[in-house]
Amino acid sequence: MALLAANILFGANFSLYVSLTQHGVSFQQIFILQLTVAALFFAPSVLFSRQSYRIALEDFGSIFIVAIMVVYGWMYMLLWGATETSPIDASMIATLGPVVTLFVAHIVHPQPISWIKAIGALLAIAGTIALLSDKNYHLLGTTNEAFGNALVLFAVIAIAANTVLINSQLRQYGVLTIVGWYYVIGLIMAAPFFYRDFLGIFSLSISKIAIFELVYVTLFGTVLPMYLLYVGSRHLTAVHTALYRYVQPLVATTLALLRGQTVIDHANIVGAVLIFSGVVFVVTGNIFPLRRG
């Protein structure tokens, strides 16, 4: 339930990012506002938690690396990419997460991969290629959509790797402590470069709708779902955690269509069918283990 709620909240962001940039809010301003509010919200869990003072130096090094991946590899790149492409494009590319997670999990914790999981991964990759190779969805090219798609894909890889790499520290030190350190580290590193963007937020002349959207993407689109994401990930495998990301394109597509931000074409349909079929195979893959030797 935590993962389901988190991905519903995350899914709405794709439409709101596009809307906010159309109202004159830059993605840098959205980024630093999200990061600041999240850091303030989770700071007590860092400063007043006994677990923070028990973190081994080696574990803190891992937390620092993953914090960079979460804040800059995922938050910043996803936000940047989502403002350059359509909500449907961004949310559909984000569904590649379970496949990336499967590969990373296998590299970090080697184990046999069933043939049905392999087929599922291939189907998901084929679906992504179908989405990106359409005339309006070139991954490589000169259009803003192409650049945005590439940034979103990079963000997906970063967050999928993070899901696997930080799992043991989450179990040892707790969700609040680890997530708190993510945002505290991220804000400390971002402040010297984005403080002007933060100050510029207060001089913006935007509508009440845009103000509501800023509040949503900051609190209900960042702080709350991030916490729910890691609460849920403590009780499920990395692949199953990534599976719930498939809720996001359903929410993003619905909002984008209702708000007239985009339309569904054949590439979205073909890509969705292949990707959703692929993830079903990945999740049920343990039923048919691949025998080696």
Contact criterion met (CB below 8 Å) for 159 and 74? yes
> What is the pTM (predicted TM-score) of this model?
0.77
User: Along the 293 residues of the chain, how does pLDDT read in single tens digits?
Assistant: 878 888 888 888 888 988 898 888 999 999 999 999 999 888 887 888 788 888 888 888 888 988 888 889 888 998 898 888 878 778 877 777 767 777 776 676 666 667 777 777 788 778 777 766 654 444 444 456 767 878 888 888 887 777 677 777 777 777 778 888 888 999 999 999 998 999 998 888 888 888 999 999 998 988 888 778 777 766 666 566 666 777 887 888 888 888 877 667 676 677 778 877 777 777 666 544 444 44
Q: 113 by DSSP, 3-state: which?
A: coil
Residue 138 has phi, psi (to 5 degrees) of -70, 130
Report how far residue 243's alpha carbon sits from residue 279's, in angstroms, rounded to the nearest whole number. Answer: 7
Residue located via tokens 């969700």: 175
**72 vs 66: CA distance, rounded Å:** 10
Q: Are the C-beta atoms of residues 19 and 261 closer than 8 Å to each other?
A: yes
Q: How many CB atoms lie within 10 A of CB 215?
A: 13
Alpha-carbon distance of 115 to 123, in angstroms, equals 12
Structure tokens at 259: 């708000």
Is residue 125 classed exposed, middle or buried when 0-12, 13-18 and 19+ CB atoms within 10 A define those classes?
middle
User: Could you tell me which of 182, 133, 183, 156 has the C-alpha nearest to residue 77?
Assistant: 156
List Cα–Cα distances, 44 to 39, 159, 180, in angstroms.
Answer: 9, 24, 8
Given phi > 0 = left and psi -120 to 50 = alpha, else beta, which region is 110? beta
**Three-class DSSP category at 234:** coil
